[in-house]
């Protein structure tokens, strides 16, 4: 079809198709998702491999991740992997959230840590294939945007504290409580 005739669920044509066919590594979070993911891989003719082990290595080796909002966003940021975050809930859930005035400024943990947008978030109706491709290509092809993301990750790490900060805090609390009980 022509421009504008793209069906729902189809991926838009993009500059990357003129470069090379990307290779996708898809960590499988739940075995029940395997049939649907494998069907999508076949339907779109993707060069993709489902991964069920060594997912940390797969994430660390990625040039870019397109992922749902969750703890994986922090993991990717700590691994210095640029990412595009998307999140969609059912219209009913979204409506209830608005009715209850449930509001947080961001959905992804890296953005919440620094309280500003350091990773792109595509929520609800913004989470379209076209928008995902646009944001992903910007992070892949624009060295300045990529470097800005990595610099922002460094700021996030500083705000989170050094490695082992939780262990040190717990130790201090235990030491303090031991002194108080004597």
| pLDDT given at position 103 | 73
23-27 vs 121-123, strand pairing mode? unpaired
Residue 76: helix, strand or coil by DSSP? helix
How many CB atoms within 10 Å of residue 156?
A: 20
| pLDDT given at position 7 | 42
Cα dihedral across residues 41, 46, 49, 50: positive or negative? negative
Residue 95: helix, strand or coil by DSSP? helix
| pLDDT given at position 162 | 66
Tens of pLDDT, residue by residue over 3-54, are 333 444 444 554 544 556 788 999 998 999 999 999 999 998 999 999 999 8
Exposure string (b/e) for 101-135, b if CB count within 10 Å is 16 or more? eeeeebbbbbbbbbeeebbbbbbeeebeeebbbeb
Whole-number Å distance between alpha carbons of 120 and 78: 16
pLDDT band at 101 (very low <50, low <70, confident <90, very high): confident
CA angle 56, 53, 36 (to 5 degrees): 105
| pLDDT given at position 60 | 93
pTM of the model: 0.75
The domains located in the chain, with CATH, are 15-181 (3.40.50)
The string of DSSP codes covering 116-130 is S-SS-EEEGGG--HH
Segments of the chain assigned E as strands: 23-27, 47-51, 65-68, 83-87, 121-123
| pLDDT given at position 34 | 96
More confident residue, 91 or 166: 91
Tens of pLDDT, residue by residue over 52-79, are 998 889 999 999 999 999 889 999 999 9
| pLDDT given at position 1 | 38
Tens of pLDDT, residue by residue over 119-178, are 999 999 999 999 999 999 999 999 999 999 999 999 999 988 866 656 655 666 666 655
| pLDDT given at position 91 | 87
Whole-number Å distance between alpha carbons of 55 and 36: 20
Burial of 160 from C-beta contacts in 10 A (0-12 / 13-18 / 19+): middle
């Amino acid at each position: 079809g022509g421009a504008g005739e793209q069906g729902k669920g189809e991926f838009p044509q993009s500059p990357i198709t003129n470069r090379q066919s990307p290779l996708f590594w898809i960590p499988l979070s739940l075995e029940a998702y395997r049939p649907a993911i494998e069907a999508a891989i076949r339907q779109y003719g993707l060069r993709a491999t489902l991964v069920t082990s060594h997912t940390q290595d797969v994430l660390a080796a990625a040039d870019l991740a397109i992922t749902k909002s969750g703890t994986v966003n922090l993991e990717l940021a700590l691994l210095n992997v640029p990412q595009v975050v998307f999140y969609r809930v059912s219209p009913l859930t979204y409506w209830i959230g608005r009715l209850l005035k449930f509001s947080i400024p961001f959905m992804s943990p890296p953005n919440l840590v620094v309280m500003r947008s350091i990773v792109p978030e595509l929520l609800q109706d913004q989470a379209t294939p076209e928008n995902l491709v646009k944001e992903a290509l910007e992070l892949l092809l624009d060295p300045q945007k990529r470097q800005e993301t990595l610099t922002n990750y460094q700021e996030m790490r500083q705000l989170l504290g050094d490695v082992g900060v939780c262990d040190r805090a717990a130790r201090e609390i235990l030491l303090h409580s031991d002194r108080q009980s004597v």
